[in-house]
Amino acid sequence: GAVVSQHPSWVICKSGTSVKIECRSLDFQATTMFWYRQFPKQSLMLMATSNEGSKATYEQGVEKDKFLINHASLTLSTLTVTSAHPEDSSFYICSASLSSYNEQFFGPGTRLTVL
Amino acid sequence: AQTVTQSQPEMSVQEAETVTLSCTYDTSENNYYLFWYKQPPSRQMILVIRQEAYKQQNATENRFSVNFQKAAKSFSLKISDSQLGDTAMYFCAFSSATSGTYKYIFGTGTRLKVLA
């Protein structure tokens, strides 16, 4: 149990376009989802926390207008990278947790390359 | 603010030997959780072991065990009988209920290589 999927697993886009990444909890309802960014050979950096039906809470230094997060249901959260630039190229990971249990279950990640 | 420190960027161990990865953290809270995650080349984050701060007994999961020293704020991971499949990045993580949400704070990671 506790499986989290991400789609797509990798994406290449042109500079200036927008890209949407989906994160789904497949076998449980996740009231809270998290989005991370990971640069090569570095740790995971929390970008934002999203709760179903409410606005996401962004970490300091993360541009909320550039990284749009929507958590429309208990099983789906989306991250949209707007007007992507090469510096947005990275590995993006989502995770999900149950409200009464703090463990996070991680998706397999999405590799974004902006040309 | 809470911080997590992993002072060993890279380690290696011979197959079947034992290795210990270190992790220290800083917090003023009394109730929190600690985790070790493994990230193999596939980059999928896999939970190795978790420890609740209120529990004095060290957590154990098969070949993986922790040495949790609450007063010293230390949370090391011991891998016994190391296997080639244990080769991965290992991240220590701290979690507590900050503003009602259990956010993770990750250490910088230790790259472990198991040698045949």
Chain A hits for B40, Cβ within 8 Å: none
Look at residue B68 in the predicted model and tell me its pLDDT. 97
Using left for φ > 0, alpha for ψ between -120 and 50, and beta otherwise, residue B62 falls in left
DSSP codes of every residue in A6-31: EE-SEEEE-TT--EEEEEEESSS--S
A6 and chain B in contact, CB less than 8 A: no
Q: Are A69 and A63 in contact (CB under 8 A)?
A: no
pLDDT over 70, % of chain B: 97
Q: What is the pLDDT of residues B63-93, one digit of tens each?
A: 999 999 999 999 999 999 999 999 999 999 9
Look at residue B80 in the predicted model and tell me its pLDDT. 98
Q: Do A32 and B43 touch (CB under 8 A)?
A: no
Q: Do A91 and B109 touch (CB under 8 A)?
A: no
Identify the CA nearest to B106 among candidates B97, B94, B98. Answer: B94
Q: Do A106 and B44 touch (CB under 8 A)?
A: yes
Report the largest interatomic distance among the alpha carbons of chain A, rounded to a whole angstrom.
42
Q: What is the DSSP letter of B84?
A: G
A93 and chain B in contact, CB less than 8 A: yes
User: Among partner residues A93, A102, A108, which is closest to B33 by beta-carbon distance?
Assistant: A102
Alpha-carbon distance B12 to nearest alpha carbon in chain A (angstroms)? 17
For chain A (length 115 residues), average pLDDT per consecutive 10?
92 97 93 93 93 88 95 92 96 87 89 97
**A110 alpha carbon, distance to own chain's centre:** 9
Q: What is the residue type of B15?
A: E
Look at residue A57 in the predicted model and tell me its pLDDT. 92
B35 and chain A in contact, CB less than 8 A: yes
Look at residue B97 in the predicted model and tell me its pLDDT. 77
**Distance from C-alpha of A66 to C-alpha of A49, rounded to nearest angstrom:** 15
- Residues B49-72 as b/e (b if ≥16 CB within 10 A, e otherwise) read bbbebeeeeebeeeebbbebeeee
Q: What is the pLDDT of residues B24-36, one digit of tens each?
A: 999 988 889 999 9
Look at residue A99 in the predicted model and tell me its pLDDT. 65
**Distance from C-alpha of B41 to C-alpha of A35, rounded to nearest angstrom:** 20
